[in-house]
Amino acid sequence: MMAEADAGGPRLAELLALGRRLWDELEASTEPSSGAPAVQEKVQQGLDALQQAAAMVAQLELFRVFSSVMVL
């Protein structure tokens, strides 16, 4: 993750904010979603941003599952 931040890539907070902003725009939109290029583009952008964010969180190993627990 640090390499991405150092390389000028988006930060985790920015990716999450983008995903949320696009979601809000789509929710407020009155344009039909089936086949509308503008809507489909926003959906794809939002998915890409959130997939990138998920990959960054996975690199942090915040939710690592412990395979064994030591009992004393």
Can you give the pTM of this predicted structure? Answer: 0.70
The closest of 3, 1, 17, 25 to 49, measured between CA atoms, is 17
Q: Where are the domains of the chain?
A: 2-59
Give me the half-sphere count of Cα atoms (radius 13 Å) on the Cβ side of residue 61: 3
Residue 4's pLDDT is: 47
SS3 23: helix
Q: Which two tokens stand for residue 45?
A: 């952008």
For residue 45, what pLDDT is reported? 96
**At CB < 8 A and 24+ separation, what contacts does 36-44 make?**
none
Q: State residue 7's pLDDT score.
A: 65
pLDDT tens string, the chain, 72 residues long: the values are: 444 445 678 999 999 999 999 999 999 988 877 678 888 999 999 999 999 999 998 888 776 666 555 665
Distance between CA atoms of residues 22 and 29, nearest Å: 10
